[in-house]
Each structure stands twice: as C-alpha cells, then as structure tokens.
Amino acid sequence: MKSTILASLLLLLSIQPTFANDVTDMADCTIKVFTEINKTRKWSGKPPKGCQAAVAVEKRQDGVFVTAWKIRQGENGWLRTSLTGAMGYAEIARKKDLEKAGRDITKRAVKLESCLDSINTVNDPLNCRDRAVKSYLAGENSGTENQRLIWLDDNGRHVVAEYSSGNTTATPTPPAELFSGERLPTNVIINLDWR
C-alpha cells in the first residue's frame, strides 16, 4: 500500500510541468547578451545563437538589465518562466569583470532554480525570498493568472526569476514585473563609459 501511494506521488511530481531548469538556460542567454554588448556596444534585438528564449534589454542609470523568458502551453493554459540579470556598465566594459559577473549570474540562477523546484514540488522557497500573486480576470480575457517572483535576499546582484501560469484566453505578455522602464530598441549604441 505504501509503495503504491509513493509511486503515485512520484508520478504526479514527474508529470507536473515546472520547467525550473529553464532558469539556468535563461541565465546563459542573459550572459550572451551582456557579452554581445561588450563586443559591439549595442543590442542587436535578437536572441543570441543557441538561446531558446525571447530577450529584452533595458538600460538603467547604473547598468543594463537583460530579461529572458519562455512561454509554453500547459495542461490548463499557459506557463511562463523568466529570468532577469543585471550588470553595471563597468562590468560589461571590462572582459575580466564581465566574466566574473557572468559567473555570479550563473551561480545565483542555480540557487533560484533549486528554490523554484522546491516551490513547485513542496511549496517551500528554501533560502530564497518569494512573492506570489493570484489575479482573477473578468471580461474579454477572463480566467486566473498566478505569478511567483523568486530572488535571493542577500543584497547581492539583481537576479530575479519568475514563474507564472494562467488559463486566460489572451496570449501571455512578456514579464513586465521584471523590468520597470522602456525596452531598448534594436541597434541603439550603449555607452559603457562608467566614469
């Protein structure tokens, strides 16, 4: 009897589409975008080679935020996983600093991925902070949407993951919560002079 219950629980967990491993893949995408900006001093507007996510770049006063996201069809609607990473202009300009910042983004993404796995399996954010919001929509785009932001509360680099799902009829939009300003248009020169 116990083995049947355990097998049933494992089956439920194995078919639940969490896509948490997308977090480290998207971290790699963001690092490739930062590397592109280092080399060309601009954003091409296209996801880097090998990146299976949509990408947006936002220029801020002290640096650049890069957001990567994937939207999939789930069993009862849609699922969106996204990651935003930030680097300062000086980090992007200097190759050694860029590589060090890239390693930091990767390390933080691995931790966020572990937290997201735990949230999706046992609803425990481990050592991460998280904020969950459930929205009920009525009218033209009726249904429910769930959004969960996950971050490390250590005053370190800004790296935030989002896991959202919904059964609304509208196509889900990019993760607007993760960037607060205007997305950078294609081929705009980015001044990396930090002095």
Q: Give me the pLDDT at residue 84, please.
A: 93
**More confident: 16 or 52:** 52
Asked whether the beta carbons of 36 and 28 are under 8 A apart, the reply is: no
What is d(CA 114, CA 111) in angstroms, rounded to the nearest whole number? 5
What is d(CA 27, CA 155) in angstroms, rounded to the nearest whole number? 19
pLDDT band at 4 (very low <50, low <70, confident <90, very high): very low
**More confident: 174 or 44:** 44
Say what the pTM is.
0.82
Q: Give me the pLDDT at residue 10, please.
A: 36
As a whole number, mean pLDDT of residues 130-153 equals: 80
Residue 8 has pLDDT above 70, yes or no: no
Residue 191 has pLDDT above 70, yes or no: yes
